[in-house]
A and B are shown apart, each in its own frame.
Chain A
Amino acid sequence: MATSIRSELQSSESYQELSDRLRFLRQNVSSVVPKIPGLPYLYISPFYLLFSVFLLFPTLYTIYLSVFSYEGPAGSEYIVSIQAWIFELTIPKISNLEFVGLAHYESLIFSDSVFHLSLFNTGFIFLIQVPLMVILALAVAIVLDSKFIRAKGLWRTLIALPVATGMVAYSTVFLLLFEGDVGMINQVLMSVGLDAVPWLTDRWMARITLVIAITWRWMGYNMIILLAGLQTIPQQLYEAAEIDGATMWQKFRFVTVPQLRPVLLFVIVSSTIGTFKLFAEPFVITGGGPANATLTVVQYIYRQAFVQLNLGYASAVTVCLVVIVSAISIVQVRRGGAAQ
């Protein structure tokens, strides 16, 4: 009798203690504001210092240049003139600027058909390549994350290696694979009696060749990020789903996808931005051809800035590109975040 009262008392005491602690915890959890005012700014200031000097300033300068016209240097006032490999680039002395207001933007939006074509090409690659690559990367990441796969590190390393290939190597390898009748792929096709494919000379095939090349190079990179994300998903969630009798598809749909959402969003947004910034691949593999069918926006910027020395016009194209891609990214982030 006495013991039972005592135990009841004890448990009520501990209950009191527990509820106090919980209340204390709850108060603290609701206030994420730190005890030191200005602390978050301390955390972000080193980043923003370097950011302001090396990214913000060049960005503002680009916006500034976009309302000027630069008619080329008087005489030969070049600061830099470089010729290396397929690159011929010149940075002139910035002088002789003439204010033109929004004239560059006007001609970009209403009359520059090469710019419009470059937007179409980039958009096409974006719509085909990003879904293809993300699905493939996710599939490989999930397979590599399963318990029974051995030598995971080796697989992972091999799949991600193409990212490390630089532009020179990349172009050499892909030209040797795809170019004309001498390319290895066409040689193999012809040796088994099939017709050679015009990989680089047909408009649509050239675009598809680019999609193949970009997927080859970037799939493993995205797979690594997705795999890192998969590994932070608590194993208990899968165990709980298994106890509830979930099928593999249900586990994927209701555990993996929601848990992976932030990382998946990251991969999709950065791949989207990547395709809109595409430069190396078309520059070295197709040269933007045939008939500008694979000319990307950034390649167009490069051409305008370093070859034709229309610095102001190139800056206006840059601003347009940034506006378009920002809009797409914001939509992606909003939709990705809202669905949580």
Chain B
Amino acid sequence: MMDEPQRETALKFGSYAFLLAVVTLIVVPLYWMIVAATIPQSELFSSSIPFLPGTQFLTNFEALQNRLNFVRTIWNSTLIAVVYTLLSMLLCSMAGFAFAKYEFKYKEPLFYFVLATLVLPIQALVVPLFLLVSTLDLLNTYLAVILPWAANPLGIFLMRQNMQSLPDALLESARMDGATELQIFYKIALPTMIPSLAALAVILFINQWRLFLYPLVVLQEEAMFTIPIALSQLVGAQRVAFEQIMVGTTLAIVPIALLFIFLQRYFIKGILAGSVKQ
């Protein structure tokens, strides 16, 4: 039988070993991607597999920038993903709050109907969506990609599930203090839900950021390309520009990493517990 400090040490050691194993399996392919982005393509397929990053990143980036205006592409992707995320967070948290905390007629059918569309594969909706977007004269606009999944079934489901854990007593005491229903939503519900909102923001941003098939159809002008579409242009019949693809992919991952790091402080422990105690 181990004593308490020994068990604690074993637990710490085991936890770190486990994390390290998981992270290694995940990071090796990504690391290799960065290596491929920083070396000339001739070295990429040489007999000795390169293990260390090279110095060609800027050269490779220049080639990419000259081929497609990649700075413009990054701007397109960023603008679309940011506006989409904010819009969708607002819609989903409002609706999720209503479903979690109010009683109203047709509540269940309305909710389950949206939930049912969660299972619709994007690929299957491309044809009707394309027809719709071209009828609305939105082809080759940012709105064509921002609007369709702003009313996000996944988002409304997540917000409803989380808002249910919001204590009724908390909302009640605010009501007794004279808060209006709207104030209860944005002064009590939203701040308490910050960890969930942060998680939702990450989900929405990433979903939009890597969308491929649908934007490919509705954004056909090169000036409107998002990152995934731009990268797919680099795969030609004769030559695949691996080093340029890897530069583009490495750059595409940076905003996601920043998003995680930036949202970290919102994943604070015990926000919910704190507001119940008061």
B276:A32 contact, CB within 8 angstroms: no
Question: Is A14 among interface residues, defined by CB-CB distance under 8 A?
Answer: no
Question: Which residues of chain B have C-beta atoms less than 8 A from A306's C-beta?
Answer: 126
Could you tell me the distance in whole angstroms from the C-beta of A268 to the nearest C-beta in chain B? 12
A contacts, CB < 8 Å to B:
24-25, 28-29, 32-36, 39-41, 43-44, 46-51, 53-59, 61-62, 65, 79-80, 82, 84-87, 89, 91, 94, 136, 139-140, 143-144, 146, 148-149, 153, 155-169, 172-174, 176-177, 184, 187, 216, 219-221, 224-225, 227-228, 231-232, 234-236, 262-263, 265-266, 269-270, 273, 276-277, 279-280, 298, 301-302, 305-306, 311, 314-315, 317-318, 321-322, 325-326, 329-330, 333
B23:A158 contact, CB within 8 angstroms: yes
B18:A236 contact, CB within 8 angstroms: no
24 A-B residue pairs with Cβ-Cβ distance under 8 Å, sorted by A, are: A29-B168, A29-B169, A32-B103, A40-B103, A41-B104, A43-B95, A46-B95, A47-B91, A47-B94, A82-B217, A87-B213, A91-B127, A91-B130, A153-B264, A161-B27, A165-B33, A167-B232, A169-B33, A169-B249, A221-B206, A224-B202, A236-B273, A266-B161, A318-B120
Could you tell me the distance in whole angstroms from the C-beta of B185 to the nearest C-beta in chain A? 8
Could you tell me the distance in whole angstroms from the C-beta of A153 to the nearest C-beta in chain B? 5
Question: Is B187 among interface residues, defined by CB-CB distance under 8 A?
Answer: no
Q: How many residues of B contact A (CB 8 A)?
A: 113
Question: Which residues of chain A have C-beta atoms less than 8 A from B2's C-beta?
Answer: none
Minimal Cβ-Cβ distance residue in A for B273: A234
Question: Which residues of chain B have C-beta atoms less than 8 A from A236's C-beta?
Answer: 273
A224:B199 contact, CB within 8 angstroms: yes
Instruction: Report the bound CA distance from A55 to B128 in whole Å.
Output: 10
Known: A25-B172, A84-B233, A228-B199. 20 other contacts (CB 8 A): A29-B168, A33-B102, A36-B181, A40-B98, A47-B156, A62-B128, A80-B130, A143-B19, A144-B19, A153-B264, A158-B27, A160-B260, A165-B210, A166-B249, A169-B245, A224-B199, A263-B161, A269-B157, A305-B127, A322-B119
A54:B149 contact, CB within 8 angstroms: yes
B19:A55 contact, CB within 8 angstroms: no
A173:B32 contact, CB within 8 angstroms: yes
Question: Which residues of chain B have C-beta atoms less than 8 A from A146's C-beta?
Answer: 15
- With contacts A48-B151, A232-B271 taken as known, whether A33 is within 8 angstroms of B103 at the C-beta atoms is yes
Instruction: Report the bound CA distance from A266 to B115 in whole Å.
Output: 12
Identify B245's interface contact among A158, A159, A168, A187, CB under 8 A: A168
Could you tell me the distance in whole angstroms from the C-beta of A320 to the nearest C-beta in chain B? 11
Question: Which residues of chain B have C-beta atoms less than 8 A from A168's C-beta?
Answer: 228, 231-232, 234-235, 245, 249
Question: Which residues of chain A have C-beta atoms less than 8 A from B157's C-beta?
Answer: 266, 269-270
Minimal Cβ-Cβ distance residue in B for A326: B116
Which 10 A-B pairs give the minimum distances between C-beta atoms?
Answer: A164-B256, A58-B128, A169-B249, A43-B98, A51-B151, A234-B273, A325-B119, A50-B151, A85-B232, A47-B95
Question: Which residues of chain B have C-beta atoms less than 8 A from A216's C-beta?
Answer: 25-26, 29
Question: Is B124 among interface residues, defined by CB-CB distance under 8 A?
Answer: yes
A163:B206 contact, CB within 8 angstroms: yes
Instruction: Report the bound CA distance from A187 to B26 in whole Å.
Output: 19
Question: Which residues of chain B have C-beta atoms less than 8 A from A149's C-beta?
Answer: 15-16, 19
Return the CB mask of B134-166 against A: 1 if under 8 Å, else 0.
100000000000011111011011100110110
Could you tell me the distance in whole angstroms from the C-beta of B171 to the nearest C-beta in chain A? 9
Minimal Cβ-Cβ distance residue in A for B101: A32
Minimal Cβ-Cβ distance residue in B for A51: B151
Q: Which of B128, B164, B234 counts the most chain A CB atoms within 10 A?
A: B128
Question: Is B121 among interface residues, defined by CB-CB distance under 8 A?
Answer: yes
B232:A84 contact, CB within 8 angstroms: yes
- With contacts A153-B261, A302-B123, A329-B118 taken as known, whether A34 is within 8 angstroms of B22 at the C-beta atoms is no
Minimal Cβ-Cβ distance residue in A for B155: A47
Identify A156's interface contact among B116, B121, B129, B260, CB under 8 A: B260
A166:B168 contact, CB within 8 angstroms: no
- With contacts A50-B150, A263-B161, A329-B118 taken as known, whether A163 is within 8 angstroms of B102 at the C-beta atoms is no
